[in-house]
Chains A and B, each alone.
Chain A
């Protein structure tokens, strides 16, 4: 609780600083007065986060602390770019669909709730989760970084989302046959925008108004957000307000700049439009920062893939020999899947890792494999200014020392 309180104080201080900047500039500030507190639907404080810059706020999911596959809504990760959490009056909020459609339409919340609904369990994961930058305990922007697993892989969460299939809404509007993409815009101050191909939109995307049985929380996009199952986080536009049907990708600021990365294997060109997450897993307990007890240990963690269901999870305790872990149901498509592995620690050095295989047969790569693919030399990860990487799904090694301490061995 203490650390939560101090995080909250820091958050408020920084928010106040931001408001101060705006006021000091003599701008016409819609910004709140310095004393205003961010309002949360259920009065939950922002948890365990970091404000990296004026326009970038992150809360990390405490993966090490929770069980099962559902992330409690208040600790679902948050990536807020370019704005504070907007306070939207749900009664006044409208979702519009226009552009290349026969019948441009506006939907109220009552309209959306009147339409056929679905509830599905899906992970949402930031494209930058597990990146070499957030692995770094020396990251000057956040002294908490590096430990525990929360700050390394905690920009991934999993919820039961409820809402209206996007295909239902698009059918109502009547999409032109020449149309091929959508561009979505949020109702936040920064007008967070993202492009989505029509094929995916008609497949399994939905406009969600519920999360784990309750209305979306403000930091999760209240009153509505897009859910794009299995794809990189930024597609899941929060505070969803406008959908424009178009015939080409719109390459908005967010996706051109924030959601692309220059890669040596591409001659320094930037890879963008990654879309789908590959197979991924991480041992959440025991993990870095914890103390390993002698004797029986249940190793447990989460596995997921943007391609579908997890079909197999393997665990190694010596860094070499892989053994199949137990998959604990339910197993949903494009969702966190809990795995367990019974083990006994004998007091010797160990290297704990997990490896996910999904239903398409795709296997989670090691850092060495990814580095080779991306044209990055393994030594480069050890430089103080590490290469940037997104779309990171490398196997996570946790090193157990003889004294039982556990550390992050990904780049060690």
Chain B
């Protein structure tokens, strides 16, 4: 608010044509409500494959094991195995499962091509009884625990907003097309 005129005037000059353009390009300017950054931050939890939206936080597999036992085991079974839904482990510590994924191995994070997918899904949708209730540190810890149990990371590896996107997923090359594009390559419809 304490901008000097020296700064403000050039800013207004720069901003004016943009504002005019923006106003002109709206066909229905009376419909819909502009969203502020604070509002967007409150609901935008979608994390992309490069992890650039990941919040600051950290966790380890040991911390994750405790949280998993309290919040996840009831449905997914002890250590993510043999639960009533979604078996979460393929491979074992030190021995990642590299496919092919024809059966139940497809149910857990070993299958995912990007390390951020498990984080994003757990953060937004888990646990099913109270989705969105986990804090970032808890989500990092759970992902560390699952990745350790799946042999994807070591037991003492710390997962945070910088290390997680760099995790090497065992099935990262397991998808066709490797990088989806639109319009897609011309293939027969069965393909």
Rounded to whole Å, the gap between the CB of A100 and the closest CB of chain B is 12
Cβ A189 vs Cβ B128 within 8 A: yes
* A108 CA to B30 CA, complexed, in Å: 12
CB-CB under 8 A from A105, the residues of chain B are: 32-35
In the complex the two chains form, is A266's CB within 8 Å of B85's CB? no
Across the interface, B49 reaches (CB within 8 A) one of A24, A248, A388, namely A248
Question: Binary interface profile of B, 2-37, with partner A (CB < 8 Å = 1, else 0)?
Answer: 000000000000000000001001111001111100
Q: Which of B120, B125, B173, B180 has the most CB of A within 10 A?
A: B125
Partner of A96, one of B43, B106, B107, B113: B43
Question: How many A residues touch the partner, as a band?
Answer: 35 or more
CB pair B131–A190 under 8 Å, yes or no, is: yes
List, in ascending order, chain B residues with CB within 8 A of A374's CB.
Answer: 190
Instruction: Tell me if A78 is interfacial: C-beta within 8 Å of chain B.
Output: no
Of A29, A104, A171, chain B has the most CB atoms within 10 Å of the CB of A104
How far apart sit A28 and B127, CA to CA, in the bound complex (Å)?
10
CB distance from A375 to the nearest CB of B (A): 12
Contact B177 A273 (CB under 8 A): yes
A172-201 CB mask vs B (1 if < 8 Å, else 0) is 101000001101010001110101011110
A257 on the B face (CB < 8 A): yes
B99 to A262, Cβ gap below 8 A? yes
Whether A252 pairs with B120 at a CB distance below 8 angstroms is: yes
Report the Cα distance A99→B71, complex, angstroms.
Answer: 32
Q: How many residues in B have their beta carbons less than 8 Å from beta carbons of A?
A: 60
- Of the candidate stretches B89-97, B160-168, B181-189, the one touching chain A is B181-189
Question: How many interface contacts (CB-CB < 8 Å) are there between A and B?
Answer: 203
Taking the nearest CB of chain B, how far is it from the CB of A76, in angstroms? 24
Residue of B39, B74, B107, B175 most packed against chain A (CB within 10 A): B175
A171 to B26, CA, bound (A): 7
| Proximity bits, A263-301, B CB within 8 Å = 1, else 0 | 100111111110111110000000000000000000000
Residues of chain A within 8 A of B39, CB atoms compared: 106
A253 to B124, CA, bound (A): 11
Closest Cβ of chain A to B36, distance in Å, is 8
Are A251 and B106 CB-contacts (below 8 A) given A82-B128, A102-B22, A199-B183?
no
Is the Cβ of B25 less than 8 Å from the Cβ of A171? yes
Asked if B1 lies at the interface with its beta carbon under 8 angstroms from chain A, I say no
When each residue 351-385 of chain A gets 1 if its CB lies under 8 Å from chain B and 0 otherwise, what string results? Answer: 00000000000100100011001100000000000
If A28-B130, A30-B130, A250-B48 touch, whether A256 touches B117 (CB-CB below 8 Å) is: yes
Nearest opposing residue in chain A for B130, CB measure: A28
A28 touching B133, Cβ below 8 Å: yes
Q: Which of B136-178 contact A (CB under 8 A)?
A: 173-177
* Residues in A neighbouring B46, C-beta threshold 8 A: 183, 185, 193, 242, 244, 250, 252
B66, chain A: closest CB distance, angstroms:
15
Please name all residues of chain B whose beta carbon is closer than 8 Å to the beta carbon of A257 when the two chains form the complex.
106-107, 111-112
Tell me the minimal C-beta distance from A366 to chain B in angstroms. Answer: 11
Give the residue of B74, B85, B117 whose beta carbon is less than 8 angstroms from that of A251. B117
Any chain B CB within 8 A of the CB of A317?
no
Evaluate contact between B31 and A111: CB separation under 8 angstroms.
yes
- On chain A, the residues within 8 Å of B25 by CB distance are 102, 171, 174
Is A103 at the interface (CB under 8 A from chain B)? yes
Q: Are A53 and B85 in contact (CB under 8 A)?
A: yes
Q: Please determine whether A272 and B34 come into contact, CB atoms closer than 8 angstroms.
A: no
What are 17 A-B contacts defined by CB distance under 8 Å?
A22-B74, A27-B127, A28-B133, A55-B128, A82-B128, A83-B128, A96-B43, A105-B32, A105-B33, A171-B26, A180-B182, A249-B179, A251-B49, A253-B120, A256-B111, A266-B176, A373-B190
List of 10 A-B pairs having minimum Cβ-Cβ separation, nearest first: A268-B100, A278-B189, A197-B182, A253-B121, A25-B74, A104-B35, A273-B180, A105-B32, A22-B129, A191-B124
Q: Could you tell me which B residues sit within 8 Å of A by CB distance?
A: 22, 25-28, 31-35, 39-40, 43-44, 46, 48-50, 71, 74-75, 84-86, 99-102, 106-107, 111-114, 117-118, 120-121, 124-125, 127-131, 133, 173-177, 179-180, 182-184, 188-191
List residues of A whose CB falls within 8 A of some B CB. Answer: 21-22, 24-25, 27-31, 53-55, 82-83, 96, 98-99, 102-108, 111, 114-115, 168, 171-172, 174, 180-181, 183, 185, 189-191, 193, 195, 197-200, 242, 244, 246, 248-253, 256-257, 260, 262-263, 266-273, 275-279, 306-307, 362, 365, 369-370, 373-374, 387-388, 391, 393
